[in-house]
Amino acid sequence: MRVAVLNGPNLNLLGKREPSVYGRETLADIERRLRSLAETFGVTLTFSQHNGEGELIEAIHALRGCCDGALLNAGAYTHSSLAIRDALVGVEVPFVEVHLTNIFSREPERRHSMLAPAALGVVCGFGADSYELALRGLVARVVPRG
């Protein structure tokens, strides 16, 4: 099974940006943890991080035909981007929306997800563990393409 892990704006600053909110683990730390878990499932992971909305959309377009599923932390684009949702629906790759924080307990503008209606599920509020929980859920729900 092939899974893409896509990260949006400012996630390259994890561990430095507001550690009291987002934790001290870096994106590289999360990637190491996910690779270890993926091995137990026989899953191959690819990782990317994009600060620009267009760059993230291009990465989503590239998923068509090459991945069985995706984990996506679109950062602030979660709350505003119809274009990202449309790209996800268009490529027909099942995905799990991931957030480090519980977006539903934060500021009002962060409590709505444009992506959730198209997602298999949403995992939020468990810090870096959110990624591992999302991978477990995705693997349990998705049958790899032949």
Residue 22: predicted pLDDT? 73
Is 131 tagged catalytic?
A: no
Contact 96, 129 (CB under 8 A): no
Asked if residue 145 has pLDDT above 70, the reply is no
Of residues 50, 77, 99, 131, which has the active-site annotation?
A: 99
Confidence of residue 124 (pLDDT cuts 50, 70, 90): very high
Asked if residue 60 has pLDDT above 80, the reply is yes
Residue type, 58: E
Of residues 22, 50, 77, 131, which has the active-site annotation?
A: 22
Residue 38: predicted pLDDT? 97
CA distance 143 to 84: 24
Is 99 tagged catalytic?
A: yes
Residue 112: predicted pLDDT? 81
Residue 131: predicted pLDDT? 97
- What would the mean pLDDT of 49-65 be, rounded to a whole number? 97
